[in-house]
Structure 1
Amino acid sequence: MSIPILPLVEEPRPQDSSSARKSPQWVSSLYDVGWTVLHHARKHTGAGIVCSVAYFDPGNWGVDLQAGSQYGYKLLFVVLLSGLFAAFLQVLATRLGVVTGLDLASHCRLLFYDRPRHGRIWRWAVLYPLYALSEVAIVSTDLAELLGSAIALNLLFPALPLWGGVLLTSADVLLILALGNPLNGKPVRMFELIIAALVFAVLVCMAIIIGKTTVQWGTAFDGFVPSKEIFADGALYTSVGILGATVMPHSLFLGSHLATQDRVAGAPLKTVSTTTSSAFSFSLRNETRLQQVVRRSLRSFGTYCASLFRAESSNAPALPASHAEKENNSYAFVAAHLYHAMVDIVVCLLGFAVIINSMILILASAVFFYQSGEYGNESPASLFDAHTLIQSTIGKGAALLFALALLAAGQSASIVATVAGQSVSEGFLRWKVSPVVRRLLTRLLGLIPSMVVAVAVGPSGINTLLVISQVVLSIVLPFITFPLVWLTSSSTVMRVRKTPLNTDSNSPALVSSHSGAPQRAPQTEKQEEQTDFVDYSNGKIVIFIGYLIWLVIVIANVYVIVTLGMGQGG
């Protein structure tokens, strides 16, 4: 028997019959369009905002401040170009997750873990080093977020030492634990709403600061046009830094994982167990109402705490031996999610990440480069320098908003980096431990070096470590983007069966693997030709752009390494 594909049912639009008859046709059409957009946005918005956080984290702040203070508005084109690169790669990661139902880390394991020939060599020479590089990227990212948030807390409360700020900002992992597992098959809306609130806080704070700053808007908009000043002495190195700080490896892993979630079907109803032992029921009869409530609350809280550290069974099916044997998501699922997810990613990255990064660079240009003062344009500005100069030139209110925006950016990016670490470990290693343990380990890996630097060297060491973390991320990035472009360009990986498989237990269409998970049975060449597939792999132009971006990133890395080796990068 075949699985029927049910049409998506939208919620009924509220209508007033009397007003509908009186309104002109264009008003009614505009109302219908607006309601449809609102309905789809409510269902599908969330993953884009979460992924956009990675592109304006404290590492980006440091690089943007350096670019604006030394070169004015000239490098705004690099900010825009880096944002377009990030949106392109993030769309590829989203398409991979929606079509295949697997995240990028799981695909890497499927690609390299059990090769038909020399499997152990592929595993130890490619898969595990790739996992190690991914973990290095996660730790470098989390380290930058912790340090950035610690600087923000120090700016808000000068009496608080930097190491104390690191400890306080690391406590946001408790918030993550209370939200459940954001990487389940259903999106955790509270998690997405908290991240969205932090993103809007950054955007509003920066917009208010820019409104209080004297900006040469004509010159600023000229900065979005490419010019030869990008290749001037030192500007190219800073441009590479902007590229490395903008395109984040951990966001590609997380974006592909969030794209596998079903945002159309309703959340399953939670069953509440009402069974109690006879002795417990008897004791409740002899207790007051308050005692009963307290006992039940403590019992529920203890059960909840125990469940946090219990290894949960994975909802994802066991990985087959190869991509050729894997069955992707249904055509109905892909049609319902793919284009909504792509629009969500592009709008959020260009509407939040690019705009916020541009605001930071414009702010640094206005208060450092185009304004005479103590700092001038001779040396790059740090986060502490920016706060001091904003306070002296614009006012204490603007300086407070700057610190609050930095704190919101650091906290949101730190939460996202921790969840991305969970996705990486689950995909590469298929760990059978609780998500809470994975998040704690990820947080500790970033907390330890942050505390060492904060205690040993202070603010100057933090600024140096922020720069080093962005260089590390830039070096790791090509190793992550190449499998992403290759996987999304493969028709074997990205094809979807338009006609559902026969799920009858007596049908040979499905077979059971050694793990019991249903997989597609091998078909003859004639059967494959008669099967109705839809190919979602990249076209030739997209493949060319993908590998061109990869090549640009590689060349940029080589340039950075050579420049640093010659002692000229700084």
Structure 2
Amino acid sequence: MTTSPNQANPDTSETTTSAKKHWIDHLHHAGWTVFRHAQKHTGVGIVCSVAYFDPGNWGVDLQAGSQYGYSLLFVVLLSGLFAAFLQVLACRLGVVTGLDLASHCRMLFYDRPRHKKLWRWGVLYPLYVLSELAIVSTDLAELLGSAIALSLLFPALPLWGGVLVTGADVLLVLALGNPLHARPAKVFEWIIAALVFAVLICMAVIIGKIDIAWGPAFDGFVPSKTIFASGALYTSVGILGATVMPHSLFLGSHLATQDRLSKKSLDPASPLSDKSRELELTEVVLRPERLQSLGRAIWRQLRSWFVVSRSDLEALDARPKSHKHRENNPLEFVQSHLYHAMVDVVSSLLGFAVIINALILILASAVFYYGSGAYGSESPASLFDAHTLISNTIGQAAALLFAFALLASGQSASLIATVAGQSVSEGFLNWRVSPVVRRLVTRLIGLIPSMVVAIVVGPNGVNFLLVLSQVILSIILPFIIFPLIYLTSSSRIMRVRNTAPKHAVISPAAEPSSPPGLTSSDGDPEMIQTEDFVDFSSGKFMSSLGWLIWLVILAANVYVIVTLGMGQGG
């Protein structure tokens, strides 16, 4: 009679079962740990990634794919790596110092020891104007892209009507809360995340319906001489400007200052706290006849949107005027936020922005350059061309997905551009107005030129303006990333105070005049507090890489400006 191995050695079976259960429990615990960390810390990366596949990207990616095929995919990848590196620098600046990039620029140039007016009017205010110009160029692309998407979804809607609809929609969503508060506005981040996933899913479905030669497509990620062909470098700079967005650096540094672990109220200074609002609304529900209470509660909430509270004004007045008059975040805060934020930013940019941009360029290449659209190198495709050809060759369902993805991209990017404008105005000008008023002003700054363009130029010239807006962003970019690289490379600005207990080396016998508190009553040395600093600045390698990226962007922009001046631009 034979026995099974388990019957012959029951201890081995029990050991194996116990080991499997141990590994399952370990994996379960690790999965929940990752989920909890992602739930708390994910947000900044997804919000910032939106800026890297906005309608401006769509316009320039469609142009690149329809004119040069897969050859410029390398530029998309390189631009994504540049964006991830610079966005990590902005994230580090916000987490370590507790201040955004715009506020740091004000501290650098507003109150210099010598030649104050020269620094203010020669450096600070021109830098602010360039930042606002970048936001206007971004908003122009976002509003026009959303308007085009609405026109594609609803052909009877004129382009200028689409601009009005998307502008009003953004204001309605932003009125729900202040995304730049000391605590993250999770509802705002969830809305952005939903729009990002909508874009990715729509593009993946469209790509799945197209016959693509993936071998040549992947070869496009390898650098080729096509990049330096006539007009290709202009388009490459447009891709760079569409990918590495100045306003996203401002916004990313601001969102990185938020405390994502504290459970305190989001808005303790609000005139109507959560508890009092709950009591008032409960009282109204229980006593329907007291509608006046509801009216007063609504009026108080609306009034709080347009009035700056006294605590906010005191916080503005108490802002330090230079870096030597302020302290960075505590070491515990930096350690609990910094590396989670860096992983969030890199994974979001490479996992969403680069992939979506690559899919748009692959779509344009397969349909226009290699497919039946075959526009060739002389006729770049527009958003309207792409929609029409997708509808004719793939089907109406794919065309609707294309329009919906464009709308989701434009709406999410419009939200980001408006919030970034709020951050820029707060940081550079120290505005003493409410966040809603700041968002209104920022929205109008972008809405007015978009309306003019939609009415005067019409659909035929929109694609040209989309690409031109991205080239303008690329030209402005070196002026924005210069202070970012300088700030993050400075150990004086990026150091965090570390208070650690250490043993005193002085005993009563050796030092009779030692101050009280250094020794215990029995003569033994006691623990004393000694202060030093932890340096979070970029090392030599990272700083050198940052300056190299700055030089590459600067050289490409100089080339484009010269070629445009000679009448040889794209």
Q: What's the TM-score bracket when you normalise by the shorter of the two chains?
A: 0.7 to 0.9
Counterpart of 2:260 in structure 1 is 263
Q: Structure 1's 387 and 50: CA in aligned 2 closer, same or farther, altered over 3 A?
A: same
CA distance in 1, matches of 2:389, 2:68: 17
Confirm whether residue 383 of structure 1 aligns to residue 380 of structure 2: no
Judge conservation of contact 2:69–2:365 (CA < 8 Å) in 1: yes
Counterpart of 1:182 in structure 2 is 179
CA distance in 1, matches of 2:207, 2:345: 26
CA distance in 2, matches of 1:500, 1:298: 54
1:179 is displaced (CA, Å) by 2.0
Judge conservation of contact 1:202–1:405 (CA < 8 Å) in 2: yes
Counterpart of 1:454 in structure 2 is 454
1:50 to 26, 47, 50: 47
Confirm whether residue 160 of structure 1 aligns to residue 157 of structure 2: yes
Judge conservation of contact 1:368–1:377 (CA < 8 Å) in 2: no
CA distance in 2, matches of 1:123, 1:172: 36
1:33 is displaced (CA, Å) by 1.6
CA distance in 1, matches of 2:191, 2:496: 34
SS at the partner of 2:288? helix
Judge conservation of contact 1:330–1:500 (CA < 8 Å) in 2: no
Deviations 1:117-174 (A, max 9, x none): 1111111111111111111111111111000000000011111000100000001233
Confirm whether residue 395 of structure 1 aligns to residue 395 of structure 2: yes
Q: Which amino acid aligns with 1:197?
A: A
Counterpart of 2:216 in structure 1 is 219
Counterpart of 2:288 in structure 1 is 290
CA distance in 2, matches of 1:140, 1:271: 38
Judge conservation of contact 1:154–1:161 (CA < 8 Å) in 2: yes
CA distance in 1, matches of 2:279, 2:151: 51
Counterpart of 2:493 in structure 1 is 493
User: Structure 2: where are the runs of 5+ without partners?
Assistant: 1-16, 502-529
Counterpart of 1:475 in structure 2 is 475
CA distance in 1, matches of 2:97, 2:258: 11
Judge conservation of contact 2:367–2:374 (CA < 8 Å) in 1: no
CA distance in 1, matches of 2:373, 2:255: 47
1:560 is displaced (CA, Å) by 1.0
Q: Structure 1's 224 and 274: CA in aligned 2 closer, same or farther, altered over 3 A?
A: closer
Judge conservation of contact 1:72–1:370 (CA < 8 Å) in 2: yes
Deviations 1:20-46 (A, max 9, x none): 968433222222221111110000001
Q: Structure 1's 21 and 299: CA in aligned 2 closer, same or farther, altered over 3 A?
A: farther
Confirm whether residue 408 of structure 1 aligns to residue 382 of structure 2: no
1:259 is displaced (CA, Å) by 0.3
CA distance in 2, matches of 1:377, 1:39: 50
Between 445-454 and 408-417, the greater mean CA deviation after superposition: 445-454
SS at the partner of 2:375? coil
Confirm whether residue 87 of structure 1 aligns to residue 80 of structure 2: no
1:453 is displaced (CA, Å) by 1.2
Alignment of 1:65-214 (within 5 A): 65-214=62-211
1:222 is displaced (CA, Å) by 1.0
Judge conservation of contact 1:51–1:251 (CA < 8 Å) in 2: yes
Judge conservation of contact 1:99–1:496 (CA < 8 Å) in 2: yes
Q: Structure 1's 317 and 192: CA in aligned 2 closer, same or farther, altered over 3 A?
A: farther
Q: What is the TM-score of this pair, normalised by structure 2?
A: 0.87
1:378 is displaced (CA, Å) by 3.2
1:335 is displaced (CA, Å) by 0.3
Counterpart of 1:232 in structure 2 is 229
Q: Structure 1's 232 and 465: CA in aligned 2 closer, same or farther, altered over 3 A?
A: closer
Deviations 1:329-372 (A, max 9, x none): 00000000000000000000000000000000000011001113
Confirm whether residue 553 of structure 1 aligns to residue 553 of structure 2: yes
Counterpart of 2:365 in structure 1 is 365
Q: Which amino acid aligns with 1:290?
A: P
Judge conservation of contact 1:69–1:377 (CA < 8 Å) in 2: yes
Counterpart of 2:14 in structure 1 is none
RMSD of aligned alpha carbons: 2.2
Judge conservation of contact 2:52–2:245 (CA < 8 Å) in 1: yes
CA distance in 1, matches of 2:385, 2:78: 27
User: Structure 1: where are the runs of 5+ without partners?
Assistant: 1-19, 278-283, 502-529
CA distance in 2, matches of 1:163, 1:446: 13
Between 365-374 and 477-486, the greater mean CA deviation after superposition: 365-374
Judge conservation of contact 2:308–2:434 (CA < 8 Å) in 1: yes
Alignment of 1:273-352 (within 5 A): 273=276, 289-292=287-290, 294-312=291-309, 313-314=311-312, 318-352=318-352
1:539 is displaced (CA, Å) by 0.4
1:455 is displaced (CA, Å) by 1.0
Q: Structure 1's 493 and 457: CA in aligned 2 closer, same or farther, altered over 3 A?
A: same
Between 259-268 and 88-97, the greater mean CA deviation after superposition: 259-268
CA distance in 1, matches of 2:316, 2:43: 21
CA distance in 1, matches of 2:426, 2:173: 17
1:109 is displaced (CA, Å) by 0.4
Judge conservation of contact 1:69–1:368 (CA < 8 Å) in 2: yes
SS at the partner of 1:24? helix
SS at the partner of 2:308? coil
Deviations 1:397-453 (A, max 9, x none): 100000000000000000100000000000011111001111011111111111111
Judge conservation of contact 2:152–2:403 (CA < 8 Å) in 1: yes
Q: Which amino acid aligns with 1:44?
A: H
Q: Structure 1's 171 and 321: CA in aligned 2 closer, same or farther, altered over 3 A?
A: closer
SS at the partner of 1:213? coil
1:41 to 38, 42, 45: 38
Judge conservation of contact 1:110–1:319 (CA < 8 Å) in 2: no
Q: What is the TM-score of this pair, normalised by structure 1?
A: 0.87
CA distance in 1, matches of 2:104, 2:95: 13
Between 382-391 and 364-373, the greater mean CA deviation after superposition: 364-373
Deviations 1:215-259 (A, max 9, x none): 111111111112222222322222111111110000000000000
Deviations 1:547-567 (A, max 9, x none): 000001111111111111121
Counterpart of 1:515 in structure 2 is none
SS at the partner of 1:492? coil
Deviations 1:473-515 (A, max 9, x none): 11111010000000000000000011189xxxxxxxxxxxxxx
Judge conservation of contact 1:173–1:440 (CA < 8 Å) in 2: no
Q: Structure 1's 179 and 267: CA in aligned 2 closer, same or farther, altered over 3 A?
A: farther
CA distance in 2, matches of 1:543, 1:177: 36
Q: Structure 1's 104 and 274: CA in aligned 2 closer, same or farther, altered over 3 A?
A: closer
CA distance in 2, matches of 1:367, 1:559: 31
Counterpart of 2:354 in structure 1 is 354
Judge conservation of contact 2:238–2:468 (CA < 8 Å) in 1: no
Aligned length: 515
Between 267-276 and 242-251, the greater mean CA deviation after superposition: 267-276
Judge conservation of contact 1:220–1:362 (CA < 8 Å) in 2: yes
Q: Structure 1's 62 and 271: CA in aligned 2 closer, same or farther, altered over 3 A?
A: closer
1:194 is displaced (CA, Å) by 0.2
CA distance in 1, matches of 2:62, 2:451: 24
CA distance in 2, matches of 1:152, 1:95: 36
SS at the partner of 2:276? coil
CA distance in 1, matches of 2:150, 2:471: 25
Between 460-469 and 541-550, the greater mean CA deviation after superposition: 460-469
Q: Structure 1's 367 and 289: CA in aligned 2 closer, same or farther, altered over 3 A?
A: same
Work out the percentage of aligned pairs sharing the same amino acid: 72
Confirm whether residue 247 of structure 1 aligns to residue 244 of structure 2: yes
1:84 is displaced (CA, Å) by 0.3
Judge conservation of contact 2:48–2:252 (CA < 8 Å) in 1: yes
Judge conservation of contact 1:59–1:148 (CA < 8 Å) in 2: yes
Structure number with greater Rg is 2
1:296 is displaced (CA, Å) by 2.5
Judge conservation of contact 1:454–1:461 (CA < 8 Å) in 2: no
Between 215-224 and 78-87, the greater mean CA deviation after superposition: 215-224
SS at the partner of 1:534? strand
Alignment of 1:531-546 (within 5 A): 531-546=531-546
CA distance in 1, matches of 2:564, 2:480: 23
Q: Which amino acid aligns with 1:305?
A: L
